[in-house]
Amino acid sequence: MRNGLLSLLMLGIVTAPGFGQIITQSTFGVQSGIGFSVQRRNFSLSGYLGRRNQTTITVAGGYTPVYYPPPAFVPGLLPVVPGYGPVLGPVGGFYPNPGWIAPVIVPPPVVVVPPPVIVFAGHNDRAERFEPRIDDPVVPKVDPAKFDVIMPRKKPANPPGALAGMEPGFQKRPAPALAIEPAPNANPRLEAERQLQLARAAFQEQMYGRAAERANRALQLDPELAEAQFLVGQAQFALGDFTEATRTLADGATRFANWPNRAESLAKLFQAAPDRLEVRMRDLRTDLERDLANPALNFLLAHQQWFQGDREAATARFRRLMPLVDDSTGIQRFLEAMPPVIR
């Protein structure tokens, strides 16, 4: 009998519609294990080897479907709480609603913002019996007859020579008249004298280049005008051209016998710029200290000392310079101009 029941049971197990499956880990996190199921009329037998836990499947978009397994009951053993606790052996029991419970999808809350309600308030012109409104222009309309014509007031013209916007007492300084040089004099001697006067005026205005130019024109018209050659040499000295100044002054001392007896002193000639004379004399001595035996610089220094009034120092320098030059005519004139006692 026992064998017969076991055979029937085995026959029922074998002939019953059932299925067996091996559950593997999926991409959604389903737990692995081995399960089987045998079903007959009003009878179901199933088993599962492994752990039964709730399965959470997370998909894109923030939705989280949750799977809760059906309730299980183990005869004679402790009940298993759905979704928690391990099951160490085959699980059997009756399932009132066998199968999978559909996942519950709880979407995130959606906040619905209702559109704003706009209430328009305004005047009902017709209801209030008002005249229809007209958009006023930015500038109110004015009757053309009421236009004010603005005419600029003309100020009286300024008197000749007065600055605009200044008091009448202040007068504009008139522009200097252009210096128009008169036509040269037909008489060369008179023209030479005129050019010499222009040279002196330019020298006093410290225009030494212009002074030398005017004095040279006078020499071209009258080569015997010693004063013009003297002025050319002093203008070159004022410009610091010691080489040309020595050549011009030495030539004048050689050509003109009365050269040392000129009454005009350098102090009077440089009265408009006395510092220029002092600076050039200091420069001359500095150059001479670098070359004490230079005959040109020694002659120029002695020449200037003579016309500054220091004739004794000039005479002593001329005497030392006498044997060093080829033509001593100019030096001899200075030595002869000295009084016999000093000589």
The per-residue pLDDT for range 209-244, each reduced to its tens digit, is 999 999 999 999 999 999 999 999 999 999 999 999
| pLDDT of 186 | 87
- Within 13 Å and on the Cβ side, how many CA atoms surround 301? 24
**223 Cβ contact list (under 8 Å, min separation 6):** none
Residue 296, pLDDT > 50, answer yes
- For residue 320, what pLDDT is reported? 94
Query: In whole angstroms, what is the distance from residue 284 CA to residue 236 CA?
Result: 13
107-114: average pLDDT? 55
Per 3-state DSSP, the chain is made up of helix, strand and coil in percentages (nearest 5) of 40, 10, 50
Name which CATH class applies to 188-337.
mainly alpha
Own/partner long-range contacts of 159-162 (Cβ < 8 Å, ≥24 apart): none
Q: What percent of the chain has pLDDT over 90?
A: 42
User: What are the tens digits of pLDDT across the range 56-105?
Assistant: 444 444 444 444 444 444 444 444 445 444 444 444 444 343 444 444 44
For residue 235, what pLDDT is reported? 97
Average pLDDT of span 254-264: 90
Closest CA relative to residue 244, chosen from 271, 273, 202, 215? 215
Q: How far apart are CA 322 and CA 333, in angstroms?
A: 11
The sign of the CA dihedral 161, 165, 166, 168 is: positive
Q: What is the DSSP-derived secondary structure letter of residue 186?
A: S
Beta-carbon contacts of residue 173 (< 8 Å; ≥ 6 apart)? none
In tens, the pLDDT along 140-188 reads: 565 666 656 566 666 666 666 555 555 555 555 666 666 677 788 889 9
Q: What is the pLDDT of residue 13?
A: 39
pTM score, whole prediction: 0.49
**What's the whole-number mean pLDDT along residues 291-318?**
95
To which H or E segment does residue 198 belong? helix 188-204
Buried b (16+ CB within 10 A) or exposed e, 258-271: ebbeeeeebeebbe
pLDDT category at 294 given cuts 50, 70, 90 is: very high
**Mean pLDDT for the stretch of residues 30-37:** 50
Residue 305 · residue 314 · CB < 8 Å: yes
Percent of the chain with pLDDT over 70: 46
Q: What is the pLDDT of residues 34-63, one digit of tens each?
A: 555 555 555 555 554 554 444 444 444 444
- Among 22-31, 147-156, 322-331, whose mean pLDDT is lowest? 22-31
Phi, psi for 23 (deg, rounded to 5)? -90, 125
Q: What per-residue confidence (pLDDT) applies to 17?
A: 41
Confidence grade of residue 338 (pLDDT, cut at 50, 70, 90):
confident
DSSP code string of 45-82:
EEEEEE----EE---TTS-EEEE-PPPB--TTS--B-T
pLDDT over 90 at 272, yes or no: yes
| Tokens standing for residue 105 | 């999808």
Q: Cβ distance 246 to 220 under 8 Å?
A: no
Segments making up each domain of the chain, as ranges:
16-99, 188-337
